Amino acid sequence: METTEHSTGSAPQRISADEHCIDETKICEQAKFIVRGLLDAGFQAYLVGGCVRDLLLGITPKDFDVATDAHPNEICDLFENSRLIGRRFQIVHVYFRRDYIEVSTFRALAKSTHSGSSTEFTNGRIVRDNTFGTIEEDAARRDFTVNAMYYDLEHSQVLDFCDGLEDIYNRRLRMIGPADVRYREDPVRMLRALRFRAKLDLEIAEDTAAPILSMGHLLKEVSPARLFDETIKLFHSGYAVNCFHELEHYKILPNLLPFTHSALKDDEDFRTFIYAALENTDARIAGGKSVNPAFVFAVFLWKSYTKLLEQYNSQGIRYGEGAWEAGRSTVLQQSAVTSIAKRFSITICEIWKLQNRFSRKRGRKVLQFMQHPRFRAAYDFMCLRAQAGELDSYECKWWTKLQAAEPVEQRKMTQQGRKNKISKSI
C-alpha cells in the first residue's frame, strides 16, 4: 500500500456522476442556493472539503462549505444575510435563520514573507495567510487528500486534485505534502487526523501518522481558545471513546489534557470512569440528545479536583469554601491549555460541588435539591461514578427511584432517608 504524502497536480481528475456515488438529495438546499447564486453572477463555486468527503463515504454531512473565486466583499454583495468572519483570512457566513453556510475564497499555498507574499510564520506556524489564489492552489494548501475534493453541482462532477477519491475507496488518510512540515504549519492538523481516524474509520498512512508521535508538544503553541474548540470537536464527534484511545495511542493526551494524563498514571481505575462518561456522551449524541462541553471537562478534571479538595479539607477549610476554591483552581490550571469559558467553568464547579449533597437523603431540602438547575447534570455525573465503582450503586438507584416516584412516595422516601429499602425490581 502506498503511504507517502501526496502533492496536488495542476489539473484535477473530473469524475462524472456515473463514476461516483454522491446522492445529491443529501445536499442541503441552502448550499445549493449559494452555489447557484455565485454561478449566476459569473463566479466559480463548488462544494468543498468535509461535505464532499462525507457524501462519497455515504454519510449525510452536518455542515456544508462552499469555495469560490469571488472575494469576500463580492460574496457579501450577493447575499444579504451574510457576515465577514476572521482576521487571518476573511471568510463569509451566509445565514439562514440560525444556521449558516461558510463560503471561502480560493487561497494560495502559504509562502514565506521573503518571497513577497503576505504570509507570516512564527516558530514554523502560519499566523497570517491572506493570499487569494486559484482552485488549484486552494487544493494544494488543504490538509488531507480526502478533504481536497470539490463538487461541481452544475455538472454533477467531483474535481479530484490529489487522488482523494482513491484514498476514500481505500479508507486511507494521507497528508498533502510532507506531514512534518504541515504539522508545524498548523499543529491542530494532528488532532484532525486523529478525529478523522476515530470517526470515519480511516487508516492513517504511515508517513502521515509517524510524525505525530514526536510532535505533540507543538500543540503548546496553539491558542488555548482554539484548543478548547478542537477538544470539543473530538469528544462531541459521536466517537469520543475512539478519540480518547487515539489521543493516548499517539501520545497526544499529555499535551491536551495533562491533568487527566497524570491522574491516569496515579489511578488506573479513573479510566473506567472516563470511558463510562464518554460512552454515555456517544450514546446521547447518537440518540439526538443535547451534550454540554462542561460535562466532559468535569469528568476529565474530576481527580485533580478531588485531590485538591482533600488538601483543603485537611487544612480545616469548610467544605463549601474549599469546594469552590478547589474547583476554580482546577479549571484555571486546565484553562492555560484549553481555555474554558466562564459559563462552562461555573457549571463544572457546580457539578462537582453538588456531589456532596447526594449523600443527604432526609428532609425537605432533598426535594428542593431536585429543583436545582444543575441537578440533572450532577445526578448523571454521580451515576457514572457509581457505574465506575467509585460509589455504591445504591446511591444512583435511590435517586433514580426518587425522581420517578409520585409526590406522596417522594415525601415518604425523604422521611426515611437511607433506611428506605430499595426493592429488587429497581
Q: What is the pLDDT of residues 163-203, one digit of tens each?
A: 999 999 999 999 999 999 999 999 999 999 999 999 999 99
Which H/E stretch holds residue 67? strand 65-68
Using the predicted structure, report yes or no on whether residue 122 has a pLDDT greater than 60: no
Please give the residue that has the higher pLDDT: either 115 or 36. 36
Using the predicted structure, report yes or no on whether residue 339 has a pLDDT greater than 50: yes
d(CA 167, CA 256): 29
Q: In the structure, what pLDDT confidence band is assigned to residue 112 with cuts at 50, 70 and 90?
A: very low
3-state class of 150 per DSSP? strand
Contact (CB, 8 A) for 34 and 95: no
3-state class of 183 per DSSP? helix
| pLDDT, position 130 | 62
Using the predicted structure, report yes or no on whether residue 99 has a pLDDT greater than 80: yes
| Among 353, 289, 278, CA closest to 321 | 353
- The helices-and-strands tally (H runs, E runs) of the chain is 22, 12
Question: Which amino acid, 200?
Answer: L
Using the predicted structure, report yes or no on whether residue 8 has a pLDDT greater than 80: no
| pLDDT, position 363 | 82
Q: Which residues are the active-site residues?
A: 63, 65, 143
**What are the φ/ψ torsions at residue 111 (nearest 5 degrees)?**
-130, 160
d(CA 347, CA 353): 10
Give the chain's domains with CATH numbers: 13-218 (3.30.460.10), 272-419 (1.10.3090.10)
Using DSSP bridges, classify how beta strands 65-68 and 82-85 pair: parallel, antiparallel or unpaired.
unpaired
For residue 239, the tally of other CB atoms under 10 A from its CB is 23
d(CA 326, CA 302): 11
Contact (CB, 8 A) for 135 and 128: no
